[in-house]
């Protein structure tokens, strides 16, 4: 998973602002997935206002999620979570929750008259 030149420039811009970590919230399901929110924090955990062209990061972020999450987070019930890019420790962490639907089939038999109380 490599970054395009545009994506590298956006990441460099983020680092230039002395961002310690970046949190990316995502959500998917029903054949669609999206990046919900991107927040930037300084070394003290204070939220920072950093303006970047998130469109240039989208492909990288989608790839990062899809290549590292075991389940298909976009289709069917999908999944959601948060990517944390820790620039100080050169680490990406993904906290992911997968939505799952289960079907349980069983048979019940009883006497009709007993059930109706007659």
Look up the pTM and report it. Answer: 0.75
Beta carbons within 8 Å of 11's beta carbon, 6+ residues apart: 3, 57
The whole-angstrom separation of Cα 111 and Cα 55 is: 64
Q: Residue 23: its pLDDT value, please? A: 96
How confident is the prediction along the chain (118 residues), in pLDDT tens digits per residue?
566 777 777 788 888 889 999 999 999 888 778 889 999 999 999 999 988 877 777 877 888 888 888 878 777 888 999 999 999 898 889 999 889 888 888 777 777 777 777 7
* Closest residue by Cα to residue 24 from 115, 102, 111, 92: 92
């Amino acid at each position: 998973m490599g970054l395009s030149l545009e994506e590298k420039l956006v990441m460099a811009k983020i680092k230039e602002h002395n961002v310690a970590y970046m949190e990316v919230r995502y959500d998917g399901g029903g054949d669609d997935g999206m990046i919900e929110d991107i927040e930037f924090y300084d070394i003290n955990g204070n939220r920072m206002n950093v303006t970047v062209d998130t469109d240039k990061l989208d492909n990288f972020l989608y790839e990062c999620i899809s290549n590292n999450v075991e389940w298909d987070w976009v289709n069917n019930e999908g999944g959601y979570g948060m990517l944390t890019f820790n620039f100080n420790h050169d680490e990406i962490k993904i906290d992911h929750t997968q939505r799952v639907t289960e079907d349980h089939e069983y048979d019940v038999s009883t006497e009709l008259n007993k059930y109706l109380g007659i």
